[in-house]
Chains A and B, each alone.
Chain A
Amino acid sequence: MENLEVIPSIIDLIENNRLPKEIKAPDGTILMKPYATWKEQDLVVNRKKWKLFINYTPVESYPEKEIWLAKVNTTGEVIEIHEKEVIHMLNYIKTEHPGATVEEVINNTLSDVVRETGEFKDDNEMASYAFLLYLGLAYAIKYGLLILVKD
């Protein structure tokens, strides 16, 4: 039987104080340290250099319930995703720009957020939303849905 891993809603993790101390890529690279400062977030620091490629096949989508299932190509593991921003980012990388840099993915998603929900009220709100996206991306890499290529 296939393993089933879950990427939970990031907002829920933040609200319930359930974020781990570190989020690592499968090769051991530390991606994010949620409780550290911005300059200690490697995924953010290397956002202009690191590139992303997809490594999944979609299985099922239930957007109304905010549940998506995807199979990791290299391991066969099925991942249950509960975070819609992760889906937006995966779709962008798959359909619009395979090999996009982390920065490009985040900016594109932020631009979608602005177009859908209006301007951020200030820099703090924008940075907070960006942090949410970085965490989502880190989880997608951690569970193998995305392959991180460091140049």
Chain B
Amino acid sequence: MDVYTIINDLLDYAYWGALIFSIAAIFAGILGVALGNQRLRKFLVSGTLAIIIWAAIPTLASNLLKTQAPGSVEFFVIALGAFAFIYGVYNFAAGNYSKAAWLAVAGIIVVGVFSLPFFNTSYNSNTSYQVTASVNPQIGFAPLTTTLTINAPGVNSATYCINWGDGSTSTISGGSSVTASHTYNNAGGYGVIITVKSGNSTGETFVAVNVLSPPNIPWPFNSIVEGIESGLLGIANFLNAPFDFFWTVPQFPTSGQLWNLYEIILSVSFGAFGLFVVLNVFSNAVSDEDVGAALVKGFKEVILVALAMLIVPYLYNIIASFLNQVVVALIPFANPGALLLGAITIIGAGFGAGYFVPELADLGAALSIALLIATALSIIRMIVIYAGILLSPVFLAFSLFPATKGISRVALELTMGFILAGPFSAAIFAVLSIMAGQWGLAGNLGLEVASPFLLQVIPDLLGFGAAKGLMGGFGISAPKVRQNNSQGSSENQENQKVTTVPGSIGRTSSSANTQQNNTQQNQVVTVPVRGHEVKLNQQYGSGPMGIIRRVRNRGTGTVTREDIAGDDLGRKPYVPRGYKITEEKDEVAGLVHRREWQIKETRLHALGSGLKENYKAAAKELGKSLSVRFDALMEKYTGVKPIEAIRREVGDVKLRHNKRSSSKLK
């Protein structure tokens, strides 16, 4: 065993180990969301990003780093590096030395790596070719004969080495486009690796073939079934094409009708923008504020917005081409058409055999709705992306006005979310496709059922999470929870809950008799006018618990009403929000009629409350950990003057301070 084999084996182990860790991180993240654990929750995003990077590594490594990316991507990366370097210098000037050092080093590395081909002649002489390949059919029953078409633009004469993935190899010579055929006799997923060599220059690509076991059905039915399934497999190959809608990040045209429309919107927005500038100057001139400072602050925004208005479509196209590189790197692993065909087959079977097997009809119906939603979402995705770019000048102008700032933020998050959903979708496909190959028929069936969600719904949600994260404030951070407004003793405060009674006429509410201990807390809300009494026994306790346990231990209670003649008992009782009546019972003692309703918390309310409680608990946990950290700091920093530290850190502190949201004084 030579050293290269050992290194390759180690890399293989590291590669698959990384997948296991990434999947484990996603599961930990999901667990974190369910349990409200702040630390675990963060794993959801990092795990998903890790899977994308994992799936994209082979092609990105061979394509992007060999400078095979389009010129715009290279330009974008170099610009990013240069920006990091300049921002580093700025931070150096502002006194944030550690940040400056990191940024400068990052900038130098990025610019250095991507500039290498320009300065290093030996590197430059080894040109890399951009090679693409496709197989037809990509999926079919064994024995499967498939035709491979390879395109290597710019190659006059080259040797094409094809590793078919089943142990056989072929070497052919040709120009920029060649074809080759191969027959796979055994079922399985095969990776075809194509290497192009022409002098010192090389290029490489990868394409997947999925060979299925033939169905074991006796003659003559086998030929009928095989005929039908061959037809279906043909459809599966055909269905691969429209999947572009799910993952492609579309390029925005810079000419034609859409561009003309963009230019009209841009000019109108510039009008509104001009109005803002004039009003801004005017308001600053008449305000008591320091005019110079206010003008500088105002103009900083104005310049940024003006610049953004002019470059949005171009900048978007650069980002789109970069994201599409990632998508293209992932797609060879995936065979979405087969998954979608499976889903369509189940729906068809549900329609056909649903009368005899009702479960199949239910499954088919549910799946058809899911597919419709996924398809609709994919179309909406495209529309929103185009609309987002088209209307970007309007939203940018909106961002200048405090009243419409929120709209522009939502629009930006929505568009960014749908843009980022593309690579997420492709990454999920890549992982699924590999897994489907390992799990056989049962795995495939499960994936088919889940495919509409995996295709679009989950990628969209991940996209929105990532977009919100990029916009500041982590996408899945805990929301603020409003608690009651009363001033009471601090010890009991955290367990106290307030039941809201609607303020209808003739009823007043008061919260009284709040008993609590570690396992149980009761509340009594009295409505005195009608002798109405509501008792809530929240047996789930005060502390946080798992969502499932919280839903299982839903709150119960009783609503009672007494009436002398019993005439008023027929009136609908007051039921607290989130509760429903489960039982009703009457008692008569002399002249007093008493009716009691048993009430129970709804599952939905318990779920919502559980999530809220867990978020709150996560925030408290974070507060506690910060407290421990601060205590340790105070022991260490006793002789340190905080004013000196804050002056050194003022740049970062101010940045963080400015990022914080402003709210109303309550």
Contact = CB atoms under 8 A, between A and B. Distances in A.
A37 B638 contact: yes
A81 B490 CA distance: 27
B280 to A, nearest CB: 13
Given A97-B493, A98-B490, A113 B656 contact: yes
Interface in B611-666: 619-620, 622-624, 626-627, 629-630, 633-634, 637-643, 645-650, 652-654, 656-657, 659-666
A22 B99 CA distance: 32
Contacts of A58: 664-666
B478 interface: yes
Contacts of A35: 641, 643
Nearest to A123: B633
Interface string A44-73: 100000010110001001011010111000
Contact of A107 (B626, B647, B652, B659): B626
Interface in A1-49: 11, 14-15, 19, 34-39, 41, 44
Contact of B657 (A61, A69, A132): A132
B662 A91 contact: no
B571 interface: no
B321 interface: no
A110 B656 contact: no
- What band does the interface of chain A fall in when counting residues whose beta carbon is under 8 Å from B? 35 or more
A113 B474 CA distance: 11
Contacts of A121: 98-99, 652
Nearest to B663: A63
A53 B652 CA distance: 31
A124 B636 CA distance: 11
* Pairs of residues from A and B, 8 with the lowest C-beta to C-beta distance, nearest first: A63-B662, A98-B487, A64-B402, A61-B664, A99-B490, A128-B646, A107-B623, A111-B623
- What band does the interface of chain B fall in when counting residues whose beta carbon is under 8 Å from A? 35 or more
Given A44-B634, A97-B490, A124-B648, A116 B473 contact: yes
Given A107-B624, A110-B623, A125 B477 contact: no
19 contacts: A63-B664, A64-B662, A68-B664, A70-B665, A85-B657, A87-B663, A88-B663, A91-B665, A97-B493, A107-B630, A110-B626, A111-B622, A115-B474, A116-B660, A116-B661, A121-B98, A124-B648, A124-B649, A126-B626
B489 interface: yes
B483 interface: yes
Contacts of A104: 623
Contacts of A54: 487
A127 B645 contact: yes
Interface string B466-488: 00000011100110101111111
Given A35-B643, A126-B630, 15 more contacts: A37-B639, A38-B642, A63-B662, A63-B663, A84-B657, A87-B663, A91-B663, A98-B487, A99-B489, A107-B626, A107-B630, A124-B645, A127-B645, A128-B646, A131-B642
Given A36-B641, A38-B637, A107-B626, A91 B666 contact: yes
B369 to A, nearest CB: 36
Interface in B219-276: none
Interface of A: 11, 14-15, 19, 34-39, 41, 44, 51, 53-54, 58, 61, 63-64, 66, 68-70, 81, 84-85, 87-88, 90-91, 94-101, 103-104, 106-108, 110-118, 121-132
B294 to A, nearest CB: 11
B97 to A, nearest CB: 11
Contacts of B634: 38, 44
Contact of B646 (A37, A81, A96, A132): A132
Nearest to B658: A11
A97 B493 CA distance: 7
Contacts of B666: 58, 90-91, 94-95
Contacts of A64: 402, 405, 662
Contacts of A85: 657, 660
A37 B653 contact: no
Given A64-B402, A128-B642, A108 B623 contact: yes
A129 B653 CA distance: 6
A86 B630 CA distance: 20
A14 B643 contact: yes
A19 B643 contact: yes
A37 B644 CA distance: 10
Given A58-B666, A84-B662, A107-B626, A100 B490 contact: yes
